[in-house]
Amino acid sequence: MSRIVSVAPVLPARSYPQQEITTALLGMITPDPKRQAVMRRIHASSGVETRSLVMPLERYSSIASFQESNDFFIAEGTTLAERAITGALASAGLEPADVDFLLFTSVTGIAAPSIDAQLVARLGLRPDVKRLPSFGLGCVAGAAGIARVHDYLAGHPGEVAVLLSVELCSLTVQASDDSMANIVASGLFGDGAAAVVMVGDERAEALGLPGPEVVDTRSHIYPDTADVIGWDIGGTGFRIVLSAGVPDVIERNFAGDARGILAAHGLEVSDVGAWAAHPGGPKVLEAFAQALDLPEGALDASWRSLARVGNLSSAAVLHVLAEQLDAHEPGTVGLLFALGPGVTSELVLLRWAAGAAQAPAAIGAAA
């Protein structure tokens, strides 16, 4: 089994209270007082208290083109990416030259060469590092990235891999668009990044680092849901598609997926001691909890992340995981999951493992 040995969540330096963001965006999105009142109400009920943004608030209304916002994504996203990977490797006691595989994901900007390619020289990664940039998975990509890195490490048990997520969601807010989807998105999504260092089982044994092992993964794309979440890509960039039906999709489908991956390992919902749910918004978190009949407080880490930084798309569930990485005893079962365009779900079954210093003495060993 692969092991997650460090997670480094990073945020832009600028952080604003939710009410200040709302006030700054009102005139940019709509001049209609009635729609502005709707926007204030939606933002106030989002569960978000603060968000970090890559640009000063006053600059968003002056973005003239998709090229301008995407250029900003590349410049600022690369800086955040460098911070995330540097922090994650340092926490694991590893160097950039130790990285064998790098999976990069984002759905809020594009570049060729991609950001991960630009990081090779900038960080001192080996020139033969294997890279896989990913676009289009959206909010599910944090969970999917862990799953795909796990798949890779199953065939390369002695290697080190990094999952990198960079999401600058604020750059996708559309000016002069008072659709409900844009109003909701402008009050929910924030900017951030995260890097996850994972190692194959042979490397995990050699390093002796504690952390959750990936026991199993599941992917499921739900039929007839392609128009529920996604982008409408045009001249102004990424215009969000966000249906009010997301909670219904969760309530109809998610319990079977979650209970199925647990049952495959002789587990039930009550056996899970660590929950890392994608903080997609209040209705999404409530739907997850209702679908699995979770006890009160089970998703507190996700609610806290939503309040502190908003929905960070693919990086969101990684920020939730980071909070819990050192909070559980060896043997604790965890379930990490997210939804994204498709609609697609990704679930990762975890079990916390002891490091070399934590490992209990063998039975019969001398005291």
Q: What's phi and psi for 42, nearest 5 deg?
A: -65, -45
Task: Assess contact for 104 and 164: CB atoms under 8 A.
Answer: yes
Task: Assess contact for 35 and 65: CB atoms under 8 A.
Answer: no
In which order are the strands placed within the sheet that holds 130-134? 130-134, 101-105, 160-168, 191-199, 3-10, 211-221, 344-353, 333-340, 272-277
Non-local (6+) Cβ contacts of 20 within 8 A are 57
Task: Assess contact for 10 and 312: CB atoms under 8 A.
Answer: no
> Which DSSP symbol is given to 189?
B
Task: Give the containing element (helix H, strand E) for 157.
Answer: none
Task: Give the containing element (helix H, strand E) for 167.
Answer: strand 160-168
SS3 at position 90: helix
Q: How far apart are CA 178 and CA 39, in angstroms?
A: 9
The per-type count for the chain, helices as H runs and strands as E runs, is 11, 13
Non-local (6+) Cβ contacts of 1 within 8 A are 150, 201, 213, 214, 215
Task: Assess contact for 318 and 196: CB atoms under 8 A.
Answer: yes
Task: Assess contact for 305 and 323: CB atoms under 8 A.
Answer: yes
Measured over the CA atoms of residue 321, residue 336, residue 193 and residue 177, the dihedral's sign is negative
Task: Give the containing element (helix H, strand E) for 233.
Answer: strand 229-234
Among this protein's residues, is 169 annotated catalytic? no
Closest C-alpha to 126, from 155, 79, 157, 159: 159
Q: Give the active site residue among 53, 99, 120, 139.
A: 139
**Residues that are catalytic:** 139
